[in-house]
Chains A and B, each alone.
Chain A
Amino acid sequence: AQRVTQPEKLLSVFKGAPVELKCNYSYSGSPELFWYVQYSRQRLQLLLRHISRESIKGFTADLNKGETSFHLKKPFAQEEDSAMYYCALRPRDDKIIFGKGTRLHILP
């Protein structure tokens, strides 16, 4: 079965500390993975996708096929990073499924 697991509902991190939001997936084929973010009172929006191998707002994520993981990382947390983060999987053509989300709370 295709599944996205985000084990942490809430992650609290001090400003300036490193951040790692965990995402594991279950899919037998070659996955396409994304991180979406929802800031307070805003729409969900794409943060980054694995194929781009990009860094957005200081965040990076590396696909580890051996561990079936796509963890989101940032070396130094900022207060504006507080938001809800969703990992998403596109197993085939148009179906896209999301994890349960992790609320990131940056402490001053």
Chain B
Amino acid sequence: NAGVTQTPKFQVLKTGQSMTLQCAQDMNHNSMYWYRQDPGMGLRLIYYSASEGTTDKGEVPNGYNVSRLNKREFSLRLESAAPSQTSVYFCASREGSSGRNEQFFGPGTRLTVL
């Protein structure tokens, strides 16, 4: 099993450009998450999805949209990138709300917005 995979690993954008970060998991997990990691700010939850077809805002959703395409995939879209969105983005998955189980994380995407 590959676990949680993310593409791309690195990306440089200009202000105003758009892009989609892809995340997939092969563990048949119900819940998926997007976080951003910034120095001194830790991990902040952007959006999460409890199950296919549902999404909810986290702590810092502004400037982002998400799509839970199917059970495996959860994408994060930046419609008009801003320098403040320069960060490392992590996707995570978890079996589901019924169990008290851990999150599994992807390797991260390092995004720089110029």
Contacts and interface: CB of A to CB of B under 8 A. Distances in A.
B43 A86 contact: yes
A94 B94 contact: yes
Given A86-B43, A93-B50, A49 B105 contact: no
A97 B41 contact: no
B48 A49 contact: no
Chain B contact patch, size range? 20 to 34
Contact of A94 (B31, B35, B40, B43): B31
Contact of B105 (A34, A43, A90, A99): A43
A98 B48 contact: no
A49 B44 contact: no
A32 B103 CA distance: 13
Contact of B97 (A43, A49, A94, A98): A94
A5 to B, nearest CB: 10
A100 interface: yes
A99 B45 CA distance: 11
Q: What are the nearest 8 A-B pairs in CB distance? A: A100-B42, A98-B43, A46-B102, A93-B97, A94-B50, A44-B105, A101-B42, A94-B31
Interface of B: 31, 33, 35, 40-45, 48, 50, 56, 58-59, 90, 92, 94, 96-97, 100, 102-103, 105-108
15 contacts: A36-B103, A43-B108, A44-B43, A44-B92, A86-B42, A93-B50, A94-B48, A94-B96, A95-B56, A96-B103, A97-B45, A97-B58, A97-B59, A98-B44, A100-B41
